[in-house]
Amino acid sequence: MLDADFFRRWMTAAAASVDREAERLTALDSAIGDADHGSNLQRGFAAVLATLDKEAPDTPGAVLTLAGRRLISTVGGASGPLYGTLLRRTGKALGEAAEVSEEQLAQALRAGVEGVRALGGAAPGDKTMIDALVPAVDALGDGFAAARSAAEGGAVATTPLRARKGRASYLGERSIGHQDPGATSSALLIAGLAEAAEGSGE
Amino acid sequence: MSDGKRVGIVLVSHSAAVAASVAELAKGLVGGAAVPVAPAGGTEGGELGTSAELIAAAVASVNRGAGVAVLTDLGSAVLTVKALLAEGDELPEGTRLVDAPFVEGAVAAVVTAATGADLAAVEAAAAEAYDYRKV
C-alpha cells in the first residue's frame, strides 16, 4: 500500500529531476516553444516542496491536491494548469484514504490524465504531454518501472510528430524533428513515481 | 441590470503591458462610463506568463454581483482561467471565460457592459467580435 510518505517522495523525486534536467527542458522548449519550460517547472516544484513541508498533508489525496494547487499558482506557463489539473484530479480521485493500492493509484492517475485532456483538448499524437502520460497510465498495471519506460518511449516518439497544440502548433511542419518538452517533463514526473517506489523497497 | 450593478471585465494577457493597455483602450472608448475593468497581465514577478493569483485578485476587484466576463489571450492564460473555474471556489460565482478575440472582444464587452447589459449580453457581444472581418 502507498501512504502519504510515498506521495511526498514522488513529489521530491520529481522536483529533483526537474532541477537536474531544467536546462535540457528549456533547450527543448527553445526549439519549438518559448524557452521557459525548465525554469517554470523548477519554480513550480520548488513551491510544491515548500508547501508540502509547511502544511504536512497526511493522506495521499491531500498531498497531490495541494501539490496541484501550487503548480497552478506558481508555474506561470501552460504546464502549470495542466500539471496542476493532473495532480489535483488524481488526488481528488484518491479521496481521503490514509493508504491506497497501486491499482487505486493507476485508476486515479487515469482520471487525472482525462482531466488534462479535457482542459487542454489534446489527443494522443498531438505532440504534447498526453503522448507520454497515456502510455504511462496504460502500462501502470505492469508496475512503476513499466510506466517509466512507457512514458520515456512516448516522449521520444513525439520527435517526428507535428505539433497541433500550444505555441509549437504555430510552427506547423517546422515543429517536426524536435522532442516535445511537455512530454519530456511528463516522463520525468512518471520516473519520479518509479523512484519513490524504489525508495520504499518495492 | 436595473439596480445599476455592472458586469465586471477582466483582461488576462501574457504581458502586463498588453493587459493594461487593452483595458485602457476599452475604457477610453466608452467615454468615462463606469465599467469595472481590471487587467491581469504577466506573472507576479513582472515577467511574461500567467498568474493565477493576479487573475483571482482582478476578478475579485471587479465583481459587483452581476457576474464577471474574463477575456484571455493565449495558451496558459486560457488554461489557467479554465483550471481556476474548474476548481469551483477560486473565482466568485458568475465568473465566465468568454471566447472572444482579445482586443476587439474587450472593447465590445466593455461597451456592452457600460449600457448595463447582463453577463449573457456582454458575452454575446464579445464573441460576435470574431465575425468582424477586416478584409
Q: What is the pLDDT of residues A55-113, one digit of tens each?
A: 999 999 999 999 999 999 999 999 999 999 999 999 999 999 999 999 999 999 999 99
Strands A2-3 and A99-100: antiparallel
Is pTM beyond 0.90? Reply is yes
Chain center to CA of B85 = 14
Q: What cell does B24 get?
A: 485602457
Given the residues B9, B13, B14, B123, select the one marked as catalytic: B14
- Axis crossing angle, helix A181-199 with helix A79-94, rounded to the nearest 10: 40
| CA distance readout (Å), A67 to A18, A31, A42, B2 | 15, 29, 13, 44
CA distance A199 to chain B (A): 32
Walk along chain A (202 residues) and give the pLDDT tens digit of each residue: 999 999 999 999 999 999 999 999 999 999 999 999 999 999 999 999 999 999 999 999 999 999 999 999 999 999 999 999 999 999 999 999 999 999 999 999 999 999 999 999 999 999 999 999 999 999 999 999 999 999 999 999 999 999 999 999 999 999 999 999 999 999 999 999 999 999 765 4
CA-based torsion, B115, B119, B120, B124: positive or negative = positive
DSSP-assigned beta bridge partners for residue A71? none
* Catalytic residue flag (residue B84): no
Integer-rounded Cα Rg, in Å, for chain B is 14
Q: What cell does B106 get?
A: 474587450
Q: What cell does B56 get?
A: 483571482
How large is the ipTM?
A: 0.91
CA distance linking residue A111 with residue B53, whole number of Å = 26
For residue B74, which residues of chain A lie inside 8 Å, CB to CB? 167
